[in-house]
Amino acid sequence: MILLKQLTHILILAYCVSYNTEKAIFGAFNMYYRMNKSVTLLIVWIFFAFHSKSQDVVIKNLREETNKTVKKEKDTSRWNKKHGGMVNFTLSQGSLSNWAAGGDNFSLSMSSYFNYFYFYHRKRASWDNNLAMNLGFVQTTSLGGRKNDDRFDLLSKYDYKMDTIGLWYLSSLFNFRSQFFDGYTFKNNVSSFSSSVLAPAYILLSVGFDYKPRHNFSLFLSPLTSRWVVVANKTLAEKAAYGVDTGKLVKTEIGGFATLNFASTLDKNITYTGRLDLFSNYTNNPQNIDLFMTNQFSFKINKHFSATYSLDLIYDDDVRIFGPEGKSPGLQTKSILGIGYLKRLNTKKAVIKESI
């Protein structure tokens, strides 16, 4: 009941502050780092700060486009199946020779992003699937080679419409998140093995309610969720990494879960997609809410090239490898800015004819 009350407060507060400016974002991040208990309210604040900006842009564009002809796609309201995606690849290189200010003689970084979605709906039922993969690598003469991005994320959600206007859905959700390669943390340029494929992996199975006031926004709330934390690497399992018991490969958690998904065209050539996951473990410090948040901005330059910016945030109270002694939890942040090739996969739609 405490979690349901918190989730209700989240939704109410989000709509109240949704018209604030971007200054709210920086204040929210500062407060989050100091006040772990306020993480839920603050991060939702971040989402709707972006949303308020997009609303201003949309209103402005509507005024400018009033007298223009709008081209409509045929049968946009009748599709049953829809699938498409996006591929992005960014490459940057730098070199120095006799450079008095100093620096690496050579540096090379590569990053890639792949996204694919498949949506299906028929009558009162809908099934949404999304796959996201990130992979990045950086090479310098002083530090050598290391990865700077690595993620595999599969999300599948099945909804059944409960009302006649399509706002509330009875929903079930499955999420699998892990990585492809070994990962290391670096302290004073000394590497320490910290992760690997399926170490960790997060598997989540949830039932609850999905609120969809618009096609580009959804808020899923679940009072009952099972989450499995997998550490398939024996070396990490022996260190009780990621909260598993020493020597164990899997940890089972029961708790409450909420996920918010939002996408928007902020301007003609600027798009934003974001996702926020919150999980509270009922059996172990439920007030310490785990957080996972992704943000992706795309700035179109021309048909094939664009600038991209991604910001990921993670807070897990069971990951205690930070601080002066390496035994404290901390807010994990990852941001990548680059210019590269971007290809949107053709979005295809299909209509399924009803049998007589």
Structure confidence by residue, pLDDT tens digits, 105-131: 888 899 999 999 999 988 899 999 999
Residue 208 burial class via C-beta count within 10 angstroms: exposed 0-12, middle 13-18, buried 19 and up = buried
User: Is 329 inside a domain boundary?
Assistant: yes
Structure confidence by residue, pLDDT tens digits, 173-192: 999 999 999 999 888 778 88
pLDDT at 146 over 50: yes
DSSP 233-281: -HHHHHTTGGGPPTT-SEEEEEEEEEEEEEEEEEETTEEEEEEEEEEEE
Residue 82 burial class via C-beta count within 10 angstroms: exposed 0-12, middle 13-18, buried 19 and up = middle
Q: Taking the model in full, what pTM does it have?
A: 0.73
User: Is 356 inside a domain boundary?
Assistant: no
User: Is 149 inside a domain boundary?
Assistant: yes
Structure confidence by residue, pLDDT tens digits, 248-265: 999 999 999 999 999 999
Structure confidence by residue, pLDDT tens digits, 328-349: 999 999 998 888 998 888 888 8
pLDDT score at 28: 44
Structure confidence by residue, pLDDT tens digits, 30-64: 444 444 444 444 444 444 444 444 444 433 443 44
User: Is 119 inside a domain boundary?
Assistant: yes
pLDDT score at 304: 87
User: Is 355 inside a domain boundary?
Assistant: no
Residue identified by tokens 């205690």 is 320
Average pLDDT in the chain: 80
Residue 111 domain boundaries: 2-350
Domain count, the chain: 1
User: Is 174 inside a domain boundary?
Assistant: yes
- The helix/strand/coil state of 49 is helix
